[in-house]
Amino acid sequence: MNTPLSWIKAYVPDLDVTPQEYTDAMTMSGTKVEGYECLDADLDKIIIGRIEKIERHPDADKLVVCQVQINEAGETIQIVTGAPNVFEGAVIPVVLDGGKVAGGHDGSKTPGGIKIKKGKLRGVESNGMMCSIEELGSSREMYPEAPEEGIYIFNEVPEYADLRLGSDAVAALGLRDAVFEYEITSNRVDCFGVLGIAREAAATFRKEFVPPRVAEPGHIYEAKKRSNDQTSDYIQVEVRDKELCPRYVARVVKNIRLAPSPMWMQRRLAACGIRPINNLVDITNYVMEEYSQPMHAYDLSTIAGDPAEGENGCGHKIVVERAKDGEVFQTLDGQERKLDASMLLIRDGEKAVGIAGIMGGENSKITDEVETMLLEAACFDGTNIRLSGKKLGMRTDAAAKFEKGLDPNTAMEAMNRACQLIEELDAGDVVEGCVDCYPEVRRPIQVAFNLEACNRLLGTDISIEQTREYFNRLELELNEEGNLVTVPTWRQDVLRNADLAEEIARFYGYDNIPTTLPTGEATTGGLSFKLQIEGIARNVAEQYGFCEGMNYSFESPKVFDKLCIPEGDAARQAVTILNPLGEDYSIMRTMPLNGILNSLSTNYNRRNKNVRLFELANVYLPKALPLTELPEERVQFTLGFYGDGDFFDMKGVVEEFLEQAGLKNRLICDAASGKPFLHPGRQANLVYEGAVIGYLGEVHPQVLDHYSIGEKVYVAVIDMPQIVEKASFAIKYEGIAKYPAMSRDISMVMKKEITAGQIEEILRKKGGRLLESCHLFDVYEGAQIKDGYKSMAYSVTFRNKEKTLEDKEVNAVMEKILKALEEIGVELRK
Amino acid sequence: MRLHTYAHKEKKLLVSIKRKVKMMKEKLKSIMSAALSQIAESTDVEKLNAVKVTILGKKGELTELLKGMRDVAPEERPKVGQLVNETRAAIEAKLEEKLAELAAKKREEQIARETIDVTLPARRLVRGHRHPNIVALDEVERIFVGMGYEVVEGPEIEYDYYNFEALNIPANHPAKDEQDTFYVNDKIVLRTQTSSVQVRVMEKRKPPIRIVAPGRVFRSDEVDATHSPSFHQIEGLVIDKNITFADLKGTLAEFAKKIFGEETKVKFRPHHFPFTEPSAEMDVTCFKCGGKGCRFCKGSGWIEILGCGVVHPRVLEMSGIDPEEYSGFAFGVGLERIALLKYEIDDMRLLYENDVRFLRQF
């Protein structure tokens, strides 16, 4: 919402503030100013002048030498110009020596302006410059009377007939103004209009609010223009859907006299960014800006009567009802729109003539030939307009206003204002009376008020007198007892005491409310156990050189193909977003790998070496599809790297994490994990206490191709909820061994298929409680070992915690171990 | 006995012994001087050891000399023995002295050899780094935990009820559109705000409540330098008896000081949120210019940092808390906003690219 300060001042005449003061105070009272632009910021020393004499330039065909009178005293200066449209007697804006203009005549703006100095043009002295509208920082769009090319000429505008030479040209053009942009919150529907903001400004600066004086219908028009006929003689209105159209006001204007609207109106519209067109269009736009009430004008001759009524009817009828499913309608921009039964239509006796609140029809629009106009000011259901606009992909200025949910009482005020302006601008003859369909009148509501409760909520001690004063400024009527407030209908946001507390706070000043800390019962803060375990995951990842990444929770369904997940796999059962930003962001991830692989790929393709990344984030597992209850959200600890390191480095990180999280039992790597996205010979399920808590492996070369990564990638995924369940911070000291240990080395040759896991299993089982540890110190495959075989060597340590071990004890155990090893085909090397 | 038997020889022998003693003394002298010069000439421990062996060893000169003691008259023996021992001790002392000298020299040489260029580059363990969001989150959590707040979480895919309705945003409320919600179906959405956790907490617990709820939220904004369809918020909620707007101001002013520096000032502007009344937005003094106005704060001296307000009585009612008895305040901070401002990151997209050259800076 953009509004010039001059327009606000029109309704708050005593307002005398700088743009910055206005910005600060309005923002602090709740009407946030996003910014402002001073239209004259880059304009300086620009006055009204008149060309007295034009002579040819002696040395240039395209230049002329003008003598320009620059004040009433008759002083003239010489200006050389190449503008094609100058003539003797032309009244023009002149920038004097040392002055500034905003830009070039091609419409380009120069921040800070362009300084104009006297000098010589082709040898002839020139002491200033005559300005085009573009050089003054505006455009023909906003100043339609300006010439297509050349200097702005005041003579052509009747309102400029009395300009004094030497006076401020910037002011004459309405450019001594600042345009403000506001951020209006959705609860303050009234502030989408200039009047609403002006009311707030008056309250903020404690000045009088003087809204435009508009009389009741039938009393505002001069007698000579008043006709004997009544609006109801011209138009009949039937609202068939009162829910979606709480009010419909219609009036008729005859003898339309299209003309440009007066400069003051054009200037205000231009400052709001609205292009002036003609008096009728400008008036409806003007009222829309002023009251935040959109209006629509129909050519009455195109509005058919009700055929059922025939001769008895008035010949023109408006019906407001829902469209039929599949109905097609051509809007005034020439587009065919396909409608459905949720949308509200304006029809005449025979056909559709407009989509309610969004756009009128091609078939009934105002043309230059219009004689009689039907003017509509209605109130439509905001939600319905918003949804219809969305469905149709149309967000017109009117719809943007309606969708906030307007006050139906404003419709009549706006209609009266428009008719008043039509009369004032002599744009036509307004027909007496109006047709007003308003079955349920909205009346001001009464809100119980409790000042003490307000003070208690705010932490303040504001008096009833102060409160009364704040409320008066806002036209909130506080009764004498001080316990009931009557709220005007435009303040749809004030419904209860808390809302009134906010009104008090706004004008008492948020700055003036004290600053305290909560008292009351102390609470012990802290992190949940889950978050603490996630902290450990981060610590371990950090220790091992992994950087934390973050990826979106939504991804493309194609991810499953990239990860070679077979059709029908449970992982493909994902929550789908109805309105995603695109297919690439349309499903909620069920596995975390895509994110980490994408990130690794980004790094790889940017030639970053040795990249280690991790992420802690949710996957979303639906219990059933389509979703009827919330999916399960499980945090996954995902690690991935390329560069230095291999499978066993990653396995080390996993083991370290488990240990630090207090999972001190043995982690088993089960090679039968069957992940299609991992190297078939280099992957494992992570099994802890019999449960699969995650997986680990080298990414399948095929998948690496899909992600354009040219190095081996190792990943691990740990299902955090299971870790949290098993984690513990309990630490228990075990005594340091008092008795010596004994070590034996076992050197073996075996088939390649036999795993270290199998060997260790035997060592542990047969070693019994004497076995303290076993440590693999050599694995070898190659020249000295026969094909298909490998050698392994373990150092096995035994200890008895109660007494010193004896050789024979160890020998007995070793014998059991060696026997068991031989049983699975292991050859022992002596 | 033998002496008696060979008494006639004794005199002759005596003469010869005397001569022997004299010879021994001379020999000792020459051994001594030879030893001293050999020791002096020894340039390393090995040579010195060789000298030691040559003189003091089992077959050494001094040992050999001692073997000649039997030729010395018994009464002379102690004297000669003493002489030998003195010589030995003198040589040993000299050897020790030389040995220490050589060892010292050797150590010096070693030290000289081992001198390094201490300005050569350091070797460090490659540690990982937390995401800047998490670095900022950790700090925010630390501050609020210190003030007695508990950190809680809620689901990211959420019922419409918790995300909107229970927060006083009924169906078709324009605020719903403002937030550009991602829908799963008409009842389930990707939460647009961590405020949804408020209601879940209030439903489950009785006041006093002091919580912060960090987490991912989603809005259908196209990705650019300042927008992301997925970002993080931290919701704060305090419910107790006699909680006021003044308490909200005090708490958040404290938070701002702790996170942006002691000199930070705050400003509360009226705003609108459906679930708080009165509502406010909080600005902090620009930490680049200290409030004077610069390009960073677009000349205003202030930077918008969070939204907050007194919990709307309707929200309390819907969550089963009596607004007559209890009141509270709530606030919502954008985590990315804090991270971007605090670390002066100029493009939000960097947060989700995961380029290690970016991540390693935190």
User: At A521, is the pLDDT very low, low, confident or very high (cuts 50, 70, 90)?
Assistant: confident
Same-domain pairing of B205 and B287: yes
**Residue A694 forms part of a structural domain:** yes
The nearest alpha carbon in chain A to B238 belongs to A518
pLDDT mean over B278-304: 87
Cis peptide before B270 (omega within 30 of 0): no
**Dihedral (CA of A318, A322, A326, A328) sign:** positive
Same-domain pairing of A383 and A505: no
Nearest to B132 by CA among A612, A596, A547: A547
**pLDDT value for A520:** 80
Chain A: give the shortest CA distance to residue B119, in Å: 25
Residues of chain B positioned with their CB less than 8 A from the CB of A531: 151, 153
Chain A: give the shortest CA distance to residue B38, in Å: 51
Same-domain pairing of A481 and A408: no
Residues 64-123 of B with CB under 8 A from A: none
pLDDT mean over B102-121: 91
Same-domain pairing of B287 and B176: yes
Residues A467, A508: Cα–Cα separation, whole Å: 9
Same-domain pairing of A558 and A598: yes
**pLDDT value for A2:** 86
Mark which of B114, B148, B182 sits at the end of a domain.
B114
Same-domain pairing of B161 and B308: yes
Nearest to A459 among B125, B150, B245 (CB): B245
The CATH number that applies at residue A69 is 2.40.50.140
8 Å CB contact of B249 and A516: yes
Secondary structure class of A674 (helix, strand, coil): coil
**pLDDT value for A197:** 96
Question: Which one of B135, B185, B209, B272 would you mutate to disrupt binding with A, by most A Cβ within 10 Å of its Cβ?
Answer: B272
Number of folded domains that form chain A: 6
8 Å CB contact of A611 and B351: no
In the block, tokens 């090319």 appear at A149
Q: Examine the pLDDT at B59 and tell me if it is beyond 90.
A: no
String of DSSP letters for B304-320: EEEEEEEEPHHHHHHTT
8 Å CB contact of B355 and A606: yes
Same-domain pairing of A460 and A348: no
| Chain A, chain B: beta-carbon pairs less than 8 Å apart | 252
Q: What percent of chain B has pLDDT over 70?
A: 94
**Residue A735 forms part of a structural domain:** no
Same-domain pairing of B22 and B97: yes
Chain B: give the shortest CA distance to residue A179, in Å: 18
Q: Does B220 contact A at CB distance below 8 Å? A: yes
8 Å CB contact of B359 and A547: yes
8 Å CB contact of B128 and A547: yes
Same-domain pairing of B101 and B163: no
**pLDDT value for A227:** 60
Q: Does B152 contact A at CB distance below 8 Å? A: yes
**Residue A736 forms part of a structural domain:** no
Chain B: give the shortest CA distance to residue A202, in Å: 17
What's the Cα-to-Cα distance from A634 to each of A587, A616, A717, B150, B324, rounded to whole Å?
Answer: 16, 10, 12, 21, 39
CB B163 within 8 A of CB B187: no
pLDDT mean over B64-91: 79
Q: Residue A39, CB half-sphere, CA atoms under 13 Å: how many?
A: 30
Amino acid at B15: V
**Residues A215-248: b if buried by 16+ CB within 10 A, e if exposed:** eebeebbeeeeeeeeebbbbbbbebebeebbbbb
Residues A263, A159: Cα–Cα separation, whole Å: 7
**Residue B286 forms part of a structural domain:** yes
The CATH number that applies at residue A808 is 3.30.70.380
A57-90 per-position pLDDT tens digit: 998 889 999 999 999 999 999 999 999 899 999 9
The CATH number that applies at residue B297 is 3.30.930.10
Same-domain pairing of B263 and B209: yes
Q: Does B61 contact A at CB distance below 8 Å? A: no
Same-domain pairing of A680 and A606: yes
What is the phi-psi region of residue A311: left when phi exceeds 0, alpha when psi lies from -120 to 50, beta otherwise?
alpha
Residues of chain A positioned with their CB less than 8 A from the CB of B143: none
Residues of chain B positioned with their CB less than 8 A from the CB of A524: 148, 150
Residues A459, A58: Cα–Cα separation, whole Å: 80
**Residue B123 forms part of a structural domain:** no
Same-domain pairing of A188 and A281: no
Same-domain pairing of A182 and A168: no
**Residue A422 forms part of a structural domain:** yes
8 Å CB contact of A608 and B357: yes
Mark which of B88, B114, B140 sits at the end of a domain.
B114
How high is the mean pLDDT of chain B? 88
Between the ranges A124-133, A151-160, B29-38, where is the mean pLDDT highest? A124-133
8 Å CB contact of B356 and A456: no
What does DSSP say about strands A236-239 and A128-130: parallel, antiparallel, or unpaired?
Answer: unpaired
Chain A: give the shortest CA distance to residue B289, in Å: 19
A344-391 per-position pLDDT tens digit: 999 999 999 999 999 999 999 999 999 999 999 999 999 999 999 989
pLDDT mean over A298-309: 89
8 Å CB contact of B150 and A547: no
Residues of chain A positioned with their CB less than 8 A from the CB of B127: 542-543, 545
In the block, tokens 């982690």 appear at A667
8 Å CB contact of A498 and B278: yes
Same-domain pairing of B160 and B305: yes
Nearest to A51 by CA among A151, A118, A149, A173: A151
A87-144 per-position pLDDT tens digit: 999 999 999 999 999 988 888 888 889 999 999 989 999 999 999 999 999 988 889 8
Chain B: give the shortest CA distance to residue A726, in Å: 20
State the Cα angle at A231 between A237 and A322, rounded to 5°: 15
Chain A: give the shortest CA distance to residue B205, in Å: 13
Same-domain pairing of A258 and A113: no
**Residue A216 forms part of a structural domain:** no
User: At B57, is the pLDDT very low, low, confident or very high (cuts 50, 70, 90)?
Assistant: confident
Nearest to B229 among A585, A611, A614 (CB): A585
The CB density around residue B51, as the number of other CB atoms within 10 Å, is 25
Nearest to A518 among B130, B240, B253 (CB): B240
**pLDDT value for A224:** 47
Q: Distance of alpha carbon B160 from its chain centroid, rounded? A: 45
Residues of chain B positioned with their CB less than 8 A from the CB of A576: 184
B183-231 per-position pLDDT tens digit: 999 899 999 999 999 999 999 999 999 999 999 999 998 898 888 999 9
**pLDDT value for B4:** 55
Mark which of A693, A726, A759 sits at the end of a domain.
A726
The nearest alpha carbon in chain A to B255 belongs to A517
**Dihedral (CA of A205, A206, A207, A210) sign:** positive
Residues of chain B positioned with their CB less than 8 A from the CB of A547: 128-129, 131, 354, 356, 359-360
| Neighbour-count burial of A570, counting CB atoms closer than 10 A to its CB (0-12 exposed, 13-18 middle, 19+ buried) | exposed
A214-229 per-position pLDDT tens digit: 876 555 555 445 567 8
Same-domain pairing of A557 and A659: yes
Residues A110, A353: Cα–Cα separation, whole Å: 46
Residues 6+ apart with CB under 8 A from B184: A575, A576, A577, A578, A627, B157, B190
Of A230 and A343, the structure prediction assigns the larger pLDDT to: A343
8 Å CB contact of B125 and A545: yes
Q: Does B241 contact A at CB distance below 8 Å? A: yes
Q: Does B129 contact A at CB distance below 8 Å? A: yes
The CATH number that applies at residue A32 is 3.30.56.10
Q: Does B255 contact A at CB distance below 8 Å? A: no
pLDDT mean over B224-244: 94
Longest dimension (CA), chain B: 147
pLDDT mean over A633-638: 98
**Residue B279 forms part of a structural domain:** yes
**pLDDT value for A157:** 86
B142-157 per-position pLDDT tens digit: 999 999 999 999 999 9
String of DSSP letters for B169-212: --TT-HHHHHTT--BSSSSEEE-S-THHHHHHHHHH-PSPEEEE
Residues of chain A positioned with their CB less than 8 A from the CB of B277: 498-499, 501-502
**pLDDT value for B177:** 67
Mark which of B51, B82, B114 sits at the end of a domain.
B114
Same-domain pairing of A328 and A385: yes
A813-828 per-position pLDDT tens digit: 999 999 999 999 999 8
Domain that holds residue B315: 132-359
**Residue A523 forms part of a structural domain:** no
Number of folded domains that form chain B: 2
String of DSSP letters for A76-130: EEEEEE--TT--TT-EEEEEEEEEEEEE-TTS-EEEEEEE---EEETTEEE-EEE
The CATH number that applies at residue A603 is 3.30.930.10
Same-domain pairing of B143 and B79: no
Q: Examine the pLDDT at B72 and tell me if it is beyond 60.
A: yes
String of DSSP letters for B68-134: GGGGS-TTTHHHHHHHHHHHHHHHHHHHHHHHHHHHHHHHHHHHHHH---TTSPP---------HHH
Same-domain pairing of B242 and B190: yes
Same-domain pairing of B35 and B169: no
Q: Examine the pLDDT at B25 and tell me if it is beyond 90.
A: no
Residues of chain B positioned with their CB less than 8 A from the CB of A383: 172
Residues A813, A767: Cα–Cα separation, whole Å: 6
The CATH number that applies at residue A229 is 3.50.40.10
CB A593 within 8 A of CB A694: no
Residues A758, A681: Cα–Cα separation, whole Å: 17
8 Å CB contact of B190 and A577: yes
What is the ipTM metric for this complex?
A: 0.86
**Residue A212 forms part of a structural domain:** no
Residues of chain A positioned with their CB less than 8 A from the CB of B241: 520
Report the range of poorest mean pLDDT among A608-622, A770-784, B288-302.
Answer: B288-302
**pLDDT value for B30:** 86
8 Å CB contact of B242 and A520: yes
8 Å CB contact of B188 and A188: no
Residues 6+ apart with CB under 8 A from A469: none
Q: Residue A25, CB half-sphere, CA atoms under 13 Å: how many?
A: 17
8 Å CB contact of B355 and A603: yes
**Residue B121 forms part of a structural domain:** no
A602: which DSSP letter?
H
Residues 301-320 of B with CB under 8 A from A: 310, 312-313
Same-domain pairing of B175 and B281: yes
Residues A550, B350: Cα–Cα separation, whole Å: 10
Same-domain pairing of A198 and A131: no
Amino acid at A202: A
Three-state helix/strand/coil letters over A144-211: CCCCCCCCCCHHHCHHHCCCCCCCEHHHHCCCCCEEEEEECCCCCHHHHCHHHHHHHHHHHHCCCCCC
**Residue B126 forms part of a structural domain:** no
Domain that holds residue A757: 742-828
How high is the mean pLDDT of chain A? 93
**Residue B120 forms part of a structural domain:** no
Question: Which one of B131, B145, B153, B157 would you mutate to disrupt binding with A, by most A Cβ within 10 Å of its Cβ?
Answer: B157
Residues A40, A99: Cα–Cα separation, whole Å: 12
**Residue A257 forms part of a structural domain:** yes
Same-domain pairing of B162 and B296: yes
Report the range of poorest mean pLDDT among A277-286, A399-408, A415-424, B64-73.
Answer: B64-73
CB B238 within 8 A of CB B251: yes
What's the Cα-to-Cα distance from A522 to each of A749, B207, B212, rounded to whole Å?
Answer: 68, 11, 16
Residues B314, B162: Cα–Cα separation, whole Å: 14
Nearest to A627 among B185, B267, B277 (CB): B185
Sequence-ordered strand ranges (E) for A610-759: 612-621, 632-642, 667-670, 678-688, 691-699, 713-719, 742-751
B299: which DSSP letter?
T
Mark which of A406, A437, A468 sits at the end of a domain.
A437
Nearest to A272 by CA among A19, A28, A8, A26: A8
Q: Examine the pLDDT at B74 and tell me if it is beyond 50.
A: yes
Q: Examine the pLDDT at A342 and tell me if it is beyond 80.
A: yes
Same-domain pairing of A344 and A419: yes
Torsion of CA A768, A769, A773, A774, to 10 degrees: -10
